Amino acid sequence: MSPQIALHDPVFRAYFVVVLVSLVAGGGVLAFVRFILKRETASMFKTYWSWVLMAGIGLIVVFLGRVPTIVGVTLLAVFAFKEFARASGLYRDWRMTGAVYAGIVTVGAASLISHPRGEEPGTGWYGFFVAMPVFAIALILLIPILQNRARGELQRMSLAIVGFIYMGWMFGHLGFLANARNAYGFVCFIIFATALCDVAAFAFGKIFGHHPLRTEISPNKTWEGALGAFCVAMILPWVLRFSFPFFETRDLILTGLIVGIGGQLGDLSISVIKRDIGTKDMAATIPGHGGILDRIDSLIYAAPLFMHMAGYYHPLR
């Protein structure tokens, strides 16, 4: 991955067009609702402009190459964890938060460097990357011992471990995907597919939604929205088959399941956390979306599953 390769890569160029077309189509639909149906769309337009901005930033970062992509994912993970820490109160414990930050940065470093003995450069250190939770959890468990403290430590340790594993390591898989031989296809597909599914769930829920999906977790989500998003996710791998021409039918079905079910489970699992903490959004970073964590929630769940599925059937390198 580098700007020169991206310019000539058919997959990246195709995604550039796909994203552009989707944004224009989305804008067109919103304009139709606003000017023809005369409905109130101010909040939807706010969300839409944030989508445009995010798509632009995402395309530029992926275009710039492997290192910017991994650094970008690591930064997103850092800020996503920061939101989690601020919402859960963990941010008051600087040593715990510092340990998790250090762990997240190390995950990024493991994706960047290559194995010290042999192997080609620019492939990431897979073994270390996969073993990272061991070292990070060891560090987190060490902190109360060093401070000679026990009261309330189980809660802090648990929050720190969830924060690291979920926002740091699982999301870090997206960065590691940039090391794959088919990096453009994998990275662009998983980001685009989860984003489109989120929009589909929202749109189907808005139009057809009647039956609540999980009343205790996220009262606004409906079965209709979830099924609509699932259908979109099942069709998408075939539509975007150029992203991974070597995928067989079995792989395409698995990809659809991971995006369609995994993505929505990610959404719901962040909702569980938010509901327990008692906040509506994790933060107010992105206008119309909430926090960074509210935006990347489905990627967190889907990206690692997708990477390990793809890597199992077709080695990443």
Partner 1 sequence: MKKWRYDSAPDLDQAPLDRLRRFPREPDMLVYGLRSICALIIRGLLRIYNRFEVTGHENLRTNRSLVIVANHCSHLDTLCLLAALPLGKLHRAFPVAASDYFFQRVPRLWAAAVLVNALPFGRHSRTRKSLTICRELLANPGTILIIFPEGTRSTTGEINEFKSGIGALVAGQDVAVVPCLIEGSFRAWPKGKRLPRPGKLRLIIGRPRSYRSRTADKVELITITNELREAVIALGKGGTRSPSALRKKMRLRRLT
Query: Residue 176 CB, nearest distance to partner 1 (Å)?
Result: 24
Q: Per CB under 8 A, does 149 bind partner 1?
A: no
Query: Residue 97 CB, nearest distance to partner 1 (Å)?
Result: 6
Q: Per CB under 8 A, does 89 bind partner 1?
A: yes
Report the residue number, 29 or 284, with the smaller CB distance to partner 1.
284
Which stretch, 53-61, 88-96, 169-177, 196-204, contacts partner 1 (CB under 8 A)? 88-96
What span, in angstroms and rounded, lies between the C-alpha atoms of 290 and 47?
10
Residues 6+ apart with CB under 8 A from 246: 182, 314
Q: In the window 47-76, what residues touch partner 1 (CB under 8 A)?
A: none
E strand or H helix that includes residue 220: strand 218-222
Q: For tokens 């026990």, what's the residue? A: 150
What span, in angstroms and rounded, lies between the C-alpha atoms of 68 and 72?
6
Count of residues interacting with partner 1 (CB under 8 A): 24
Backbone angles phi, psi at 285, to 5 degrees: -75, -45
Query: Residue 158 CB, nearest distance to partner 1 (Å)?
Result: 9
Report the residue number, 134 or 146, with the smaller CB distance to partner 1.
146
Query: Residue 34 CB, nearest distance to partner 1 (Å)?
Result: 24
The answer to whether 1 and 123 have CB atoms below 8 angstroms apart is no
Report the residue number, 154 or 235, with the smaller CB distance to partner 1.
154
The answer to whether 172 and 108 have CB atoms below 8 angstroms apart is yes
* CA nearest neighbour of 270 among 164, 166, 175: 166
**Cβ count within 10 A of residue 280:** 9
Q: Per CB under 8 A, does 243 bind partner 1?
A: no
Report the residue number, 25 or 284, with the smaller CB distance to partner 1.
284
Say what angle helices 183-208 and 263-277 make with each other, to 10 degrees. 60
Q: In sequence order, which ranges of 240-289 are alpha helices (DSSP H)?
A: 249-257, 263-277
Report the residue number, 90 or 191, with the smaller CB distance to partner 1.
90
* CA nearest neighbour of 202 among 15, 16, 33: 33
Residues linked to residue 286 through DSSP beta bridges, in sequence order: 290
What span, in angstroms and rounded, lies between the C-alpha atoms of 47 and 28?
14
Q: Per CB under 8 A, does 155 bind partner 1?
A: yes
Give the one residue of 10, 98, 127, 219 binding partner 1; rule: CB under 8 A: 98
Encoded one letter per residue, x for contact with partner 1 by CB under 8 A and - for no contact, window 250-289 reads --------------------------xxxxxxxxxx-x--
Query: Residue 83 CB, nearest distance to partner 1 (Å)?
Result: 9
Q: In the window 283-312, what residues touch partner 1 (CB under 8 A)?
A: 283-285, 287
Query: Residue 88 CB, nearest distance to partner 1 (Å)?
Result: 5
- Site for partner 1, rule CB under 8 A: 78, 82, 86-89, 91-92, 94, 97-98, 101, 155, 276-285, 287
